[in-house]
Amino acid sequence: MADSQTQDYFELWEMNLEAMQVFCACSDDWKITPQGQYKSIDKLALGAVMKMMEVSNQKEMLSNIICMQHAALEVLGNG
């Protein structure tokens, strides 16, 4: 019998830590459609976050965040 207090945990590899931190920092920067569906992370906000967090390879980080965005949209039912 499943406990309603049970939480799901996942392992985060060190190589993905910075991408996860940037993604989480953008959690309130999603563009939302008039129908209330998530569309994408605002790229201007993402650029500002990467600058503030002093991300050294912003091109690679953008690729990582877009990948995470697509996965999140599938979970949210918008992908």
DSSP for the chain reads ---TT--------GGGHHHHHHHHHTTT-EEE-TTS-EEEE-HHHHHHHHHHTT-S-HHHHHHHHHHHHHHHHHHHT--
Q: Is the predicted pLDDT of residue 25 greater than 90, yes or no?
A: yes
Instruction: Work out how many domains the chain is built from and give that number.
Output: 1
pLDDT digits (tens, 9 = 90+) for 31-66: 999 999 999 999 999 999 999 999 999 999 999 999
pLDDT band at 1 (very low <50, low <70, confident <90, very high): very low
70 belongs to a structural domain: yes
Range of the domain at 24: 15-76
Calculate ∠ Cα 44-49-55, nearest 5°: 115
26 belongs to a structural domain: yes
Say how far apart CA 70 and CA 40 lie, in whole Å: 8
Q: What is the pTM of this model?
A: 0.83
Confidence at residue 2, expressed as pLDDT on a 0 to 100 scale: 53
1 belongs to a structural domain: no
